[in-house]
Amino acid sequence: MQIPLQITFHNLEHSDAIEAKVHEKVQKLERFAEHITSCRVVVEAPHKHHHKGNLYTVKVDITLPGEEILANRHPDKHQAHEDLYVAMRDAFDAARRQLEDYVRRRRGKVKAHEVEPHGVIKTLNPDQSYGVIETSDNREIYFHRNSVINADFDNLEVGKLVHFNEEMGENGVQASTVHVEGKHHAQ
């Protein structure tokens, strides 16, 4: 780390044991991502007036090249956070998961989902059971009645948005499957 670890205690006494545990957890995080620039950890007991039932909050703020990760666990959601070490474990686990995602993105290991080709129905020939799709790059793709998935070919209309899978047919490129786009598809 370029900037030394910062640990802040709010509404509770400084503890060497807690500080040592934070250092141990931060060292483990550095194994996942060696490019950590800085790390700030806030350990807080928000309701100091209670003698029992204090719910601890632990915030982990990590700075990396091009990104900042903030992991915290709010006590109102986890009664187990009456134990400071449980709250600390949960916050650092969340930080580790975010760091793993960061490292995968940096290494290019994130799956890129291919967008299926899409277009609009240009012509329909119900008598001969086929139609033609015009793609966004102005290509014309043939499709047969049997290629239409989850839709009635007879209810298709010219201008309807569709996405499809291409394959090489006997007479050139054709759509092997045609899906009529609905509300849940990107347009």
Q: Tell me: the pLDDT tens digits for 124-145?
A: 998 999 999 999 888 999 999 9
Q: Could you tell me the pLDDT band of residue 111, with boundaries at 50, 70 and 90?
A: low
Q: Could you tell me the pLDDT band of residue 184, with boundaries at 50, 70 and 90?
A: very low
Q: For domain 6-107, give the fold.
A: Double Stranded RNA Binding Domain (3.30.160)
Taking the alpha carbons of 50, 18, 27, 62 in that order, is the dihedral positive or negative? positive
**What mean pLDDT comes out for the span 19-32?**
91
pLDDT at 187: 40
Helix (H) or strand (E) segment spanning residue 102: helix 84-107
What is 118-180's CATH number? 2.40.50.140
**What pLDDT digit, counting tens, does each position of 73-98 carry?**
665 555 666 788 888 999 999 999 98
**Is 143:128 a contact under the CB 8 Å cutoff?**
no
pLDDT at 186: 43
**Which residue intervals of the chain bear CATH 3.30.160.100?**
6-107
With a pLDDT cut of 90, the percent of the chain lying above it is: 32
**What pLDDT digit, counting tens, does each position of 34-71 carry?**
788 999 999 988 765 555 666 888 999 999 888 888 98
**Is 43:8 a contact under the CB 8 Å cutoff?**
yes
Q: Torsion angle, CA of 186/97/70/3, rounded to 10 degrees?
A: -130
The phi-psi region of residue 51 (left if phi > 0; otherwise alpha if psi is between -120 and 50; otherwise beta) is alpha
**Which residue intervals of the chain bear CATH 2.40.50.140?**
118-180
pLDDT at 103: 84
pLDDT at 137: 85
21-50 per-residue burial string, b: 16 or more CB within 10 A, e: under 16: bbeebbeebeeebebbeebebbbbbeeeee
Mean pLDDT of the chain, nearest integer = 83
Q: Is 104 helix (H, G, I), strand (E, B) or coil?
A: helix
